[in-house]
Chain A
Amino acid sequence: MAEHYRERIPGTPRFKRDKEYPPGTEPFFPNFLLKEWIVGAMFLVGFILWVIFNPVGLEKVANPEDTTFIPVPDWYFLFLYQLLKYFPGKYVVFGTVVIPAIATLALLLAPWLDRRKERHPFKRPIATATMVLSVLFMIWLTYVAAEEHKAELAKQGPQATTPGGQQGTASGPVVDPEDEGAKLYAQSCSGCHGPNLEGSFGPSLLGIGNRMNAAQLSDVISKGFPPKMPARGGLQSDEQVKKVAEWLAKQKQK
Chain B
Amino acid sequence: MFAKMYDWIDERLNITPIWRDIADYEVPAHVNPANKMSAFVYCFGGLTFLIIVTQILSGMFLALYYVPDIVNAYKSVDYITNEVLLGNIVRGMHFWGASLVIIMMFLHMLRVFFTGSYKAPRELNWVVGVLIFLVVMAFGFTGYLLPWDQKAYWATAVGTNIAGSVPIIGPYIRTLLVGGDTLGALTLTRFFAIHVFFLPAFLLVLLAAHFYMIRKQGISGPL
Q: Which of A94-153 contact B (CB under 8 A)?
A: 96-97, 104, 107-108, 110-112, 114-115, 117-121, 124, 127-128, 131, 135
Task: Look across to chain A and name the residue whose beta carbon is closest to the beta carbon of B51.
Answer: A47
A16 at the binding interface (Cβ < 8 Å): no
Q: List 8 A-B contacts (CB under 8 A).
A: A9-B3, A50-B96, A56-B81, A59-B149, A66-B150, A72-B151, A96-B162, A111-B118
Of the listed stretches A22-30, A174-182, A244-252, name the one at the interface; the rest are far from the partner chain: A22-30
Asked if B27 contacts A27 (CB within 8 A), the reply is: yes
Cβ contacts under 8 Å, B155 to chain A: 71-74
Interface size range of chain B in the complex: 35 or more
Cβ contacts under 8 Å, B182 to chain A: 64
Instruction: Give the residue of B28, B96, B137 whose beta carbon is less than 8 angstroms from that of A54.
Output: B96
Q: Chain B contact residues: over half helix, strand or loop, or mixed?
A: helix
Q: Which of B111-168 contact A (CB under 8 A)?
A: 113-120, 122-123, 126-127, 130, 134, 137, 140-141, 144, 147-155, 157-159, 162-163, 165-167
Bound Cα distance from A55 to B119, whole angstroms: 42
Asked if A55 contacts B88 (CB within 8 A), the reply is: yes
Known: A28-B25, A71-B158, A118-B116. 5 other contacts (CB 8 A): A9-B6, A24-B28, A24-B29, A50-B96, A119-B223
B208 at the binding interface (Cβ < 8 Å): no
Instruction: Give the residue of B20, B47, B88 whose beta carbon is less than 8 angstroms from that of A5.
Output: B20
Asked if B16 contacts A131 (CB within 8 A), the reply is: no
Cβ contacts under 8 Å, A170 to chain B: none
A36 at the binding interface (Cβ < 8 Å): yes
Residues on A facing B (Cβ under 8 Å)? 4-5, 8-10, 12, 17, 19, 21-32, 35-36, 39-40, 43-44, 47-48, 50-52, 54-56, 58-64, 66, 69-77, 81, 84, 92-93, 96-97, 104, 107-108, 110-112, 114-115, 117-121, 124, 127-128, 131, 135, 161, 225, 228
B46 at the binding interface (Cβ < 8 Å): yes
Task: Look across to chain B and name the residue whose beta carbon is closest to the beta carbon of A57.
Answer: B81
Knowing A55-B88, A59-B151, A74-B140, the reply to whether A40 touches B77 (Cβ < 8 A) is no
Instruction: Give the residue of A26, A76, A119, A161 whose beta carbon is less than 8 angstroms from that of B116.
Output: A119
Asked if B97 contacts A114 (CB within 8 A), the reply is: no
Cβ contacts under 8 Å, B165 to chain A: 92-93, 96
